[in-house]
Amino acid sequence: MSQGDYLKNYKGTPYQDSRYQGGAQKIPGRVECAYYDRGGEGVAYHDTDAKNNGSGGLNPADGTYLNQFRMEEGVDISYTKFHDQIDNNPYDLVQPPENQLYVGWTESGEWFNTTVEVTHAGVYSADVLYTSNRGGTISMDVNGQDATGPLTITSTFNASDPIAWRQWHHWNIMPALVKVQLPAGKSVLTVHILKEGNMNLAYFDFRASQ
């Protein structure tokens, strides 16, 4: 299927809610993973189970925006917490923003779509803010076609951390992990989890490639 046919047939729509006004995420700029498209399982994403293990799970449904963010959807979402040195811990390679939403509990074979609006056609590179307790591999499609091939995610495991569960919270940025050719205007980016999983993906910062 051509990229034009993919866009014509795609049924997903950009995310929006009472706080996030929505519309396609802008490139150059930051593409937030948790604002993946609306459309549900098989259209906007594929997840190995229907339960959101973060929103309404790990983070109890207490009426707050962050704890209940998209909790009825299968993609597992949480946010960075700065109490008890969870995400602002001494083993971070990069300290993330507080209350940063992210896609987590990732498994091989999962994917999610994000509609973007690209200002100018060209080659773009993207840094990714992430954690990975054992490394892994992702890839990115542009309008239904593989645009990157497998991309290796470096493990953030650190044996010095005495708290076992915090291996999922050692944040890092991989600079220029993604390099893609993008047309001007609307496109759909698909992030695929290829190997290992157990990565937390917060955002991709896109800029024109030098």
Query: In the prediction, which pLDDT does 95 show?
Result: 97
Query: Is the omega angle on the peptide bond into residue 28 within 30 degrees of 0, that is, cis?
Result: yes
Query: In the prediction, which pLDDT does 1 show?
Result: 81
Query: How is residue 201 written in tokens?
Result: 């993906």
Query: In the prediction, which pLDDT does 21 show?
Result: 87
Question: Which stretches in the chain have pLDDT values below 50?
Answer: none
Query: How is residue 73 written in tokens?
Result: 């959807």
Residue with tokens 């076992």: 164
pLDDT, tens digit, for every residue of 170-180? 999 999 999 99
- If one counts the domains in the chain, the total is 1
pTM score of the predicted model: 0.97
Query: In the prediction, which pLDDT does 118 show?
Result: 98
Q: Whole domain around residue 194: which residue ranges? A: 3-208
pLDDT, tens digit, for every residue of 76-118? 999 999 999 999 999 999 999 999 999 999 999 999 999 999 9
Query: In the prediction, which pLDDT does 151 show?
Result: 98
The CATH number linked to 32 is 2.60.120.260
Query: In the prediction, which pLDDT does 184 show?
Result: 97
